[in-house]
């Protein structure tokens, strides 16, 4: 019996399906020969690996520890990452911008970044420890010399760990980032189980920090012993390392914006933790963590765009268009699945997580769609060293998110952060859309733009 349908070929023809797979495979191989996509896909793969292993880790933690200890440990880790990122996150844009052109000074540039980030983070964390009573009961376990010193050490360790990934990406070796995350995630999960009996109160925090410290050693040897010398040798003849004044001017514009992002990603959860119980913060932290993972997909492709835009500004507009298209192609389905499957995803951790966290996860996932536009625009500004505009956009976004979330927290509870993100990121995306469009169309005649759009439409309809 024929399996064809009148009026057309079989929709389930195996040969036709195999042809589509072959076309997609060839397209992927072509993308992987482009450093923009290779780095971007590697960082996105890292986000996926981190998300999967992170869910496994927190699932084990939810089973092995009480809800109060689970939430309190989340609060401690969030505070540690807040201070570790205080300068480290501000330097990620500078490392991505200048490592590609640092040449023989690459190693010195990275080491200085590590040192500045670590010292600043430890000083800020020490100030936090001196004001513990202000921050609520979730942070009371840090009181005392021993816990305080361990917290300071963890802040220093995480500062360097934060910058390692962007150092690899800056040298176009982001393919090693997911390898590092895979090993780190597996060891972290194993240690979590191993210390559950011996450290019933602090096992989560210890299992998070110890593998991080261990991972720093081989990755640092690999970066400074192998990749940095190779990167220096491959520098184009006559290339000029960035001057200190040039880096300082970039940081003067980029850091205020990066500090604003830090306020959204880490300070806002710390603020929530100071206002709710440990148990309720646990219900907040899981959807917030998962939502942030989806947002990282957009940030990762944007980081790769900064690297490539710094290396070759003549292709910035084309790279922006390609990055934007690929980002939505990947992120769109992820957002749709998250919105539809939020309750069962969170119920894996327990029914109370789904009950309290589903609206927050859905709102955060939806907010990633306008965030893609914002991140592509910000990366283009970094590549063009437009620091003033960069800072203005990021500071404005942070003010909107923080103020709306703080105002709504007493009214809508932990879901306030989701409402704040969706409202703020949609508004900012609308405001920057004109500037982004100019970047996307830079250097194109109307005829060339029409031909490109037709070519791209034909390519993706294949």
171 exposed, middle or buried (CB, 10 Å; 0-12, 13-18, 19+)? buried
Whole-angstrom Cα distance, residue 294 to residue 193? 27
Looking at residue 41, its pLDDT comes to 64
Looking at residue 251, its pLDDT comes to 73
Whole-angstrom Cα distance, residue 244 to residue 171? 20
Looking at residue 405, its pLDDT comes to 93
Looking at residue 453, its pLDDT comes to 41
Closest to 431 measured CA to CA, from 453, 400, 456, 459: 400
Looking at residue 181, its pLDDT comes to 73
Per-residue pLDDT tens for 92-117? 767 777 777 777 778 888 888 888 88
Q: Share the mean pLDDT of the chain.
A: 78
Per-residue pLDDT tens for 223-263? 888 888 887 777 665 556 667 777 777 777 667 767 777 78
Q: Tell me: pLDDT of 123 over 90.
A: yes
User: Two tokens at 92?
Assistant: 């990620």
For residue 333, count other CB atoms closer than 10 A to its CB.
10
Looking at residue 358, its pLDDT comes to 94
> Do residues 79 and 140 touch, judged by C-beta distance below 8 A?
no
Q: Tell me: pLDDT of 419 over 80.
A: yes
Looking at residue 249, its pLDDT comes to 72
Looking at residue 20, its pLDDT comes to 61
Looking at residue 316, its pLDDT comes to 75
| Mean pLDDT (whole number) for 155-165 | 87
Closest to 428 measured CA to CA, from 374, 357, 350: 374
Looking at residue 161, its pLDDT comes to 86
Q: Out of 37-51, 78-92, 371-385, 410-424, which region has the weakest mean confidence (pLDDT)?
A: 37-51
Q: Tell me: pLDDT of 390 over 90.
A: no
Q: Out of 98-107, 400-409, 410-419, which region has the weakest mean confidence (pLDDT)?
A: 98-107
Per-residue pLDDT tens for 260-275? 777 888 888 888 988 8
Per-residue pLDDT tens for 6-46? 444 445 555 555 556 555 556 655 555 555 556 556 666 76
Looking at residue 6, its pLDDT comes to 45
Looking at residue 12, its pLDDT comes to 52
Q: Which residue has the higher pLDDT, 25 or 283?
A: 283
């Amino acid at each position: 019996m024929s399996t064809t349908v009148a009026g057309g070929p079989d929709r389930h023809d195996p040969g036709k399906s195999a042809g589509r797979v072959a076309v997609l495979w060839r397209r992927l191989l072509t993308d992987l020969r482009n450093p923009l996509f290779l780095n971007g896909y590697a960082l996105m793969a890292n986000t996926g690996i981190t998300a999967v292993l992170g869910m496994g880790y927190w699932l084990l933690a939810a089973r092995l520890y009480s809800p109060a200890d689970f939430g309190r440990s989340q609060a401690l880790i969030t505070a540690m990452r807040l201070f570790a990122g205080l300068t480290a996150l501000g330097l990620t844009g500078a490392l991505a911008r200048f490592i590609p052109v640092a040449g023989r000074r690459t190693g010195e540039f990275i080491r200085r970044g590590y040192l500045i980030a670590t010292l600043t983070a430890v000083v800020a964390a020490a100030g936090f420890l001196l004001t513990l009573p202000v921050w609520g009961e979730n942070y009371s376990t840090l009181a005392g010399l021993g816990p305080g010193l361990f917290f300071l050490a963890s802040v220093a360790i995480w500062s360097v760990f934060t910058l390692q990934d962007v150092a690899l990406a800056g040298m176009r070796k982001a393919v090693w980032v997911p390898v590092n995350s895979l090993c780190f995630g597996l060891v972290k999960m194993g240690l979590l189980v191993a210390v559950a009996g011996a450290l019933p109160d602090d096992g989560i925090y210890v299992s998070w920090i110890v593998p991080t410290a261990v991972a720093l050693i081989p990755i640092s040897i690999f970066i400074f012993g192998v990749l940095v010398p190779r990167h220096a040798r491959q520098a184009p003849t006559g290339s000029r390392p960035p001057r200190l004044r040039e880096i300082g001017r970039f940081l003067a514009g980029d850091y205020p914006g990066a500090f604003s992002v830090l306020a959204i990603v880490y300070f806002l959860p710390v603020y929530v933790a100071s206002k709710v119980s440990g148990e309720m913060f646990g219900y907040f932290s899981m959807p917030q963590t998962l939502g942030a993972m989806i947002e990282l997909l957009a940030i990762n492709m944007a980081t790769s765009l900064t690297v490539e835009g710094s290396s070759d500004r003549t292709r910035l507009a084309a790279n922006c268009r390609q990055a934007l298209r690929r980002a939505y192609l990947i992120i769109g389905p992820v957002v749709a699945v998250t919105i539809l499957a939020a309750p069962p995803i969170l119920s894996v951790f327990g029914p109370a997580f789904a009950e309290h966290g589903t609206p927050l996860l859905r709102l955060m996932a939806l907010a990633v769609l306008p965030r893609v536009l914002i991140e592509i625009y910000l990366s283009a500004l970094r590549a063009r060293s437009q620091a003033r505009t960069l800072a203005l956009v990021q500071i404005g976004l942070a003010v909107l998110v923080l103020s709306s979330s703080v105002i709504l927290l007493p009214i809508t509870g932990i879901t306030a952060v989701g409402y704040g993100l969706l409202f703020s990121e949609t508004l900012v995306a609308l405001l920057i859309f004109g500037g982004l469009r100019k970047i996307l169309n830079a250097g194109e005649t109307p005829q060339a733009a029409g031909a490109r759009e037709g070519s791209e439409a034909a390519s993706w309809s294949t």
